[in-house]
Amino acid sequence: MAASVNTRSPGSLETPILNTNEWEYQEHMHHFHYVNNELYCEEVPVTQIATEVGTPFYLYSYATLKMHFHAFDGAFQDIAHLTCFSMKSNSNLAVLRLFALEGGGVDIVSGGELYRALKAGIEPSKIVFSGVGKRSEDLAYALESDILMFNIESSQEIERLDGVARDLGKKARVAIRVNPDVDPATHPYISTGLRENKFGIDIRQAPEQYEMAAKMKNLQVTGVSCHIGSQLTQVDPFVEALRRLLDLVDRLKQSGISIQYLDLGGGLGITYEREAPPHPAEYAKAIKSEVKDKDLVLIFEPGRVIAGNAGILVTQVLYTKSTPEKNFIVVDAAMNDLVRPSLYSSYHAIQPVVERQRGRIKADVVGPICESGDFFAKGRGVDAYEPGDLMAIMSAGAYGFTMASNYNSRPRVAEVMVYGGQYYVVRKRETYEDLIRGEVIPDFMR
């Protein structure tokens, strides 16, 4: 199978290499690659999976997920740290299990995510709980599960958590998620660390909130946290945020509040098109030089950088049509399966599963949903696909399936994981019965 391997897909994280330029531009071994014009995931031809599982489906590479996890986690191996995969980017149990087996933790944002984490065997002592709107039930569930830390986002939440912990006779370990007011220079919808964002507590108000939390009998102040945004392509905003958090830690120390954990959130970007984000090793180098003499355990919450390029969405071409203005390629996946292009105008590379040398056209790649916003690409140069052809929508491993819905009563697609020469359906395709589960026609209408 070594014949003519070419790597046309966007960048993935190879083993940690300090020379980032090399990493960026090298033709590195990628776990989605072509062998004799056919797209493979590790050692399995994508066409085979499509034939046996049907389309559309998400396809994850075990080896790529593992490699990305270690590229990130390994970059911090010489300092005390914990890598908590951000579960909202990909919450499939098999994916979570992989991180559990590799020693990773998770960052959760809901009770449902905590349930998944525990089912996947993530150690509670490696779970951090973020989010602006945690309900009392969620707080209680997490307290009873004895998670590592709550990242609190408002003064009311401080009081709420203290109350819930008191009722349960427990003590909650807390960090305050501060908003450091750093511009992450990313898409406005995924920037979270600016003063105007809903997340966290303004860093200028943080000391008084810490004083308040420190007085609560059922809280134990242990950390500071932040998360400034997603798909960052530069190191500087992270360093800036870190410095502001370190200043806060010093200030708190002076008022007798000692901090053990510093949670820097997630946000490291990936290559979808031509972005050149820093390699985790470069990110780690910058972070480590700021914290070397500090007695702190660092927590990271990477999502996209680990899962993004470890998954693709495989779809089949249903129809092609041309208007005087445009070419359209209608595929069987839609915005309900992968919403990023519709929601953020995100770019996803589009590649043929079998390269057929039919020439190139400029086209819109669209789904069957009754919305003009249902597209994967607009005015994109793509191969001249024909009905029945399989297409791979690349870089779909993060914020893909987790953001899927049943809009237009479309069953959610299957998720498949390849491990070497084997593939496993790690989530069955939903059925029509699944679509109406829980729905009831009231008796008076029968």
Considering the rule CB under 6 A, would residue 68 count as an interface residue with ligand PLP? no
Cβ-based nearer residue to ligand PLP, 108 or 249: 108
CA–CA distance, 241 with 184 (Å, rounded to integer): 9
Nearest to 105 by CA among 296, 310, 298, 312: 298
CA–CA distance, 187 with 354 (Å, rounded to integer): 33
Cβ-based nearer residue to ligand PLP, 352 or 400: 400
> Contact, 294 vs 256, CB < 8 A?
no
> Contact, 365 vs 375, CB < 8 A?
yes
Q: At what angle do helices 111-119 and 136-145 cross, to 10 degrees?
A: 30
Cβ-based nearer residue to ligand PLP, 291 or 305: 305
Contact region with ligand PLP (CB under 6 A), list: 12-20, 296-304, 315-323, 325-333: 296-304
Cβ-based nearer residue to ligand PLP, 16 or 302: 302
Q: CB of 181: closest distance to ligand PLP in angstroms? A: 16
Distances (CA, A) of 34 to 27, 45, 62, 64: 13, 9, 18, 16
Question: Encoding tokens for residue 37?
Answer: 């014009």
Q: CB of 84: closest distance to ligand PLP in angstroms? A: 8
Considering the rule CB under 6 A, would residue 301 count as an interface residue with ligand PLP? yes
Please classify residue 58 by burial: count the beta carbons closer than 10 Å to its beta carbon, then call 0-12 exposed, 13-18 middle and 19+ buried: buried
Considering the rule CB under 6 A, would residue 304 count as an interface residue with ligand PLP? yes
Nearest to 129 by CA among 82, 87, 181, 185: 87
Q: Name the amino acid, one letter, at 253.
A: K
Cβ-based nearer residue to ligand PLP, 107 or 374: 107
Cβ-based nearer residue to ligand PLP, 300 or 419: 300
> Contact, 237 vs 184, CB < 8 A?
yes
Considering the rule CB under 6 A, would residue 267 count as an interface residue with ligand PLP? yes
Catalytic residue among 41, 84, 226, 370: 370
Considering the rule CB under 6 A, would residue 397 count as an interface residue with ligand PLP? no
Number of residues counted as binding ligand PLP (CB under 6 A): 17
Sign of the torsion formed by the C-alpha atoms of 134, 262, 69 and 279? positive
Q: CB of 35: closest distance to ligand PLP in angstroms? A: 31
Cβ-based nearer residue to ligand PLP, 191 or 218: 191
Nearest to 72 by CA among 346, 228, 270: 270
| Residues forming a β-bridge with 152 | 176
Among 200, 303, 341, 352, which residue interacts with ligand PLP (rule: CB under 6 A)? 303
Give the contact letters, 37-56, x = binds to ligand PLP (CB under 6 A), - = no: --------------------
Active site residue 84: no
Q: CB of 146: closest distance to ligand PLP in angstroms? A: 20
Among 90, 110, 218, 230, which residue interacts with ligand PLP (rule: CB under 6 A)? 230
E-strand stretches of 165-284: 172-179, 201-202, 219-225, 261-263
Among 88, 116, 173, 412, which residue interacts with ligand PLP (rule: CB under 6 A)? 88
Considering the rule CB under 6 A, would residue 200 count as an interface residue with ligand PLP? no
CA–CA distance, 20 with 439 (Å, rounded to integer): 52
Considering the rule CB under 6 A, would residue 193 count as an interface residue with ligand PLP? no
Among 11, 23, 30, 107, which residue interacts with ligand PLP (rule: CB under 6 A)? 107
Considering the rule CB under 6 A, would residue 184 count as an interface residue with ligand PLP? no
Cβ-based nearer residue to ligand PLP, 252 or 305: 305
Distances (CA, A) of 310 to 44, 63, 205, 235: 15, 8, 39, 22
Could you tell me how many residues make up the chain? 446
Considering the rule CB under 6 A, would residue 92 count as an interface residue with ligand PLP? no
Residues 119-138 that bind ligand PLP (CB under 6 A): 130
Among 20, 55, 86, 92, which residue interacts with ligand PLP (rule: CB under 6 A)? 86
CA–CA distance, 170 with 152 (Å, rounded to integer): 17
Residues 309-348 that bind ligand PLP (CB under 6 A): none
Block residue for tokens 């819905």: 405
Q: CB of 359: closest distance to ligand PLP in angstroms? A: 37
Considering the rule CB under 6 A, would residue 173 count as an interface residue with ligand PLP? no
Q: Any idea which residues carry the catalytic annotation?
A: 370
Binding site for ligand PLP (CB under 6 A): 86, 88-89, 107, 130, 227, 230, 265-268, 301-305, 398
